[in-house]
Amino acid sequence: MLKYKFSVNTLSKRGILSAVCGLLSFFSLIGAMYIVLRDGGASNERLGAIGFVSSLFSVTGVILGIQSLDEEDTLKLIPWIGMISSFLAMISWGVVVYIGMG
């Protein structure tokens, strides 16, 4: 006799938050870079604050993505998207800071 196991995979709330944090961080990076390039390379404190908050969002997105991958019966695509976009944003902000220090 065949036995079937039916499970309903749901979206992880942490995974959704991870994706939101990662995409928000990534798009704020693009916006900040656009503003700096538009102003001829000049930046101000407001852009620094955007960068700091955005880097906090990217770290939070990576942590939430890792936590959401451990949840059972959840779809894994959204946490992966969130974790990868957060990690790329975190690396990108690190590069921006490194270039700015030099």
- Rounded CA separation 86/45 (Å): 23
Is there a domain that residue 88 lies in?
Answer: yes
Is there a domain that residue 24 lies in?
Answer: yes
Q: What is the pLDDT of residue 75?
A: 85
Q: What is the pLDDT of residue 40?
A: 86
pLDDT band at 5 (very low <50, low <70, confident <90, very high): low
Structure tokens at 70: 């451990």
User: What is the tally of structural domains in the chain?
Assistant: 1
Domain span at 54: 18-101
53, 85 Cβ separation under 8 angstroms: no
At 40-80, the pLDDT tens digits run 878 788 888 888 999 999 999 999 999 998 888 888 888 99
The mean pLDDT value of the chain amounts to 87
Question: pTM for the complete prediction?
Answer: 0.82
Is there a domain that residue 72 lies in?
Answer: yes
Is pLDDT at 11 greater than 70 in this prediction?
yes
Longest CA pairwise span in the chain (Å): 72
Backbone angles phi and psi of 59, in degrees to 5: -65, -45
Is there a domain that residue 6 lies in?
Answer: no
Q: What is the pLDDT of residue 8?
A: 77
